[in-house]
Structure 1
Amino acid sequence: MSLVSNSSLPPPDFEVASAFPEAGWLRQAAAARNWGAVRQYVDGLPRGTDRTFAVGVLSKVSGIETFLHDLLAAAPDDVLALTVLGAREVRIGWEIRTDAPAKQVSREQFAGLHAHLRQAEQLLIRATALDPSYDAAWAERLTTAMGLQLGQNESRRRYDRLAAHHPHHLTGQGRLLQKLCPKWGGSWEAAHGFARECLLGAPEGAMNGGLVAEAHMEHWLTLQGKERVDYLYQDSVRAELIGAAERSVLHPNFHRGYGWVTVQGYFAAVFSLTGDTARSAACFRALGNLASEYPWSDMGRDPAAAYVLHRDDALGLRPRIQMVKVPNRGRR
């Protein structure tokens, strides 16, 4: 698509702290090595909160791994520290690998990735042994299972351990969904089936319906030419997307928990792609100008420009856009 826009609306805001101000505070506390304050915050989250959000924020703090190694030397049973350090090792490994297609990644880069993933595995195994209900540690173990190519059965086993304590865990479901896609050795039947299972298993108004939109977006991204154009216009696909949206983002009881910006964004994108401007506009209005990395980084080399084009199209601020080839990208 063309990435030129003269929108009069504000540009999208990809800063997570704009949607969740506590992310900024967590970064500051971690940078100041105020682990007591970090622990108090995370331990005080309401029961059922997806703690992967806080762990993800902390794992992005540069240099935190040195502090956490020292902390764990003194307190080896600190489950939160084990989990954050595991997540940090995963992040460092993927930074070494980069998001380039596999054929463009060197043997040395893959070796670096796998070395950090194996270190993460050991930390996260200890975390889940100490606390088998710790959701963020199991969610990270779904990522390491994918990166280390441990297979569909092992990924499902890990998800089942997570779901035994957290049956509607959005991050965990999203990571298993990725593993169930063909690019990671799964199938579209398995991916779409799991997304529907998550939608119907969660209460009305829950965010889990976003997995249906994500699965269709992933499927759409693998197609080319007329197949891509036709895919989202199938009656069965459009009906499933509308049903999922009405049970989640368009439901009056929609829950804006951690991850809601991503879920809303997926529906905004797929409805724009199907020409359903009314529903796409409703999603964009709910977002304001908030944005998350996905789905927009999958829709063009400039995620902000892709967001603006689809938003302005949905809101009637520009002529209908014409879709062309979008770069096919991998997912962590």
Structure 2
Amino acid sequence: MSLASSLPPPDFEVTSAHPEVAWLRQTVAAWDWEGVRQYLAGLPQGTDPSFVFRTVAEVEGVEEVLREMVAAAPDDVFALTLLGAREIEIGWEARTDSRAERVTREQFATFHAHLRTAEQLLIRATAIDPSYALAWAERLNTARGLQLGQNEARRRYDRLAKHHPHHFTAQARLLQQLCPKWGGSWEAAHSFARDGMLGAPEGTLNAGLVAEAHIEHWLDLSAGRERNEYLGQSHVHAELVEAAERSVSHPQFRREYGWVGVQGHFAALFSLIGDTARAAAHFRALGNLASEFPWSYLGKPAEAYVRHRDAVLAHG
């Protein structure tokens, strides 16, 4: 039996990489908002806490409790932002991840209604506390979904970056906005990703933006020759090597929330390029951990992960 075939299947459960999410889910299920506040306050300085709000936003039915919280304390920035994040989550669930031409008029109407509700909540939150990064990060989602344009998205990011210049979640959200599928350009997307990498301390996740920009660009091309030619460019490979060395392959790298996705981007791209040695190093760092993104770009996520991992590790 080969090494590859003896490996376990990929594990997409976020709690496997971040056990604290299981505790967060239990805390939210108990409506223990003081516990969530204390957890946020206790995170190490420099930590991107957006995953806490994402965890809350994914809890079905939590919006009812959050609406009561906001009604009882309309100036509570924490509650306003949590409810805004949940409204965004409900909206995107209604829209689905399909391309615009496959989304029905009814789905769009529901999507936009929830995003407009979220926008009002988040406007209030950022008016009360202009330095509250979590609310600005969510407003990047509403800007994109409501198609408010590149300039408005940039304005919101700049307001956040004034207080939190290396906020990885916000940078990743703006990067999506800067891609052509949301009205941007590849020049803007790649430039922003590189600036984010060079501006952040080495060993952080920010350099992963470079890999994300490249996989988005690759996906936008016609399958086959165009994609192969794109990844075959020497500068693409060199940029990915530099980005990996400044992030997940750096000696000071810490496995912060989101590292599995960034590591996966490098594993996928080096595999697609044919740099099996580097791809293998990233797969080994992952163990069997995986995230939907980027593997959903390469087919059914679990199948894509196994196909690339097994092919890469078969080379030793």
**What TM-score does the superposition give when structure 2 sets the normalisation length?**
0.96
Mapping 1:80-159, distance limit 5 Å: 80-159=78-157
Q: 2:19 maps to which residue?
A: 21
Does the aligned pair in 2 maintain the 1:205–1:249 contact within 8 Å? yes
Q: CA deviation at 1:155?
A: 0.3
Task: Say whether residues 1:274 and 2:273 are aligned partners.
Answer: yes
Greater helix share, structure number: 2
Q: 2:68 maps to which residue?
A: 70
Q: 2:219 maps to which residue?
A: 221
Q: 1:240 maps to which residue?
A: 239
C-alpha separation in 1, matches of 2:81 and 2:5 = 42
Q: CA deviation at 1:290?
A: 1.0
Q: CA deviation at 1:140?
A: 0.6
Does the aligned pair in 2 maintain the 1:7–1:317 contact within 8 Å? no
C-alpha separation in 1, matches of 2:114 and 2:267 = 35
Q: CA deviation at 1:11?
A: 1.0
The Cα offsets for residues 144-200 of structure 1, whole Å up to 9 and x where unpaired, read as: 000000010000000011111111111000000000000111100000011110111
- Give the letter for the 1:119 counterpart: T
SS in 1 for 2:298: coil
C-alpha separation in 1, matches of 2:315 and 2:9 = 14
- Give the letter for the 1:222 counterpart: D
Q: 1:254 maps to which residue?
A: 253
Q: 1:293 maps to which residue?
A: 292
Q: 2:57 maps to which residue?
A: 59
Q: CA deviation at 1:46?
A: 2.3
Does the aligned pair in 2 maintain the 1:7–1:308 contact within 8 Å? no
C-alpha separation in 2, matches of 1:289 and 1:78 = 40
Structure 1 consecutive aligned stretches of length 4 or more whose deviation exceeds 4 Å:
none
**What is the number of residues matched between the two proteins?**
312
Q: What's the % identity of the aligned pairs?
A: 70
C-alpha separation in 2, matches of 1:312 and 1:130 = 52
SS in 1 for 2:139: helix
C-alpha separation in 2, matches of 1:49 and 1:253 = 15
C-alpha separation in 2, matches of 1:275 and 1:248 = 21
The Cα offsets for residues 222-265 of structure 1, whole Å up to 9 and x where unpaired, read as: 11131111111101111111111111111111132121111111
- Give the letter for the 1:257 counterpart: E
Q: CA deviation at 1:317?
A: 6.7
Does the aligned pair in 1 maintain the 2:143–2:149 contact within 8 Å? yes
Mapping 1:191-230, distance limit 5 Å: 191-224=189-222, 225-230=224-229
C-alpha separation in 1, matches of 2:210 and 2:174 = 13
Give the superposed CA RMSD: 1.3
Q: CA deviation at 1:101?
A: 2.1
- In structure 1, runs of 5+ residues without a counterpart are 1-5, 319-332
- Give the letter for the 1:226 counterpart: R
- In structure 2, runs of 5+ residues without a counterpart are none
C-alpha separation in 2, matches of 1:195 and 1:134 = 23
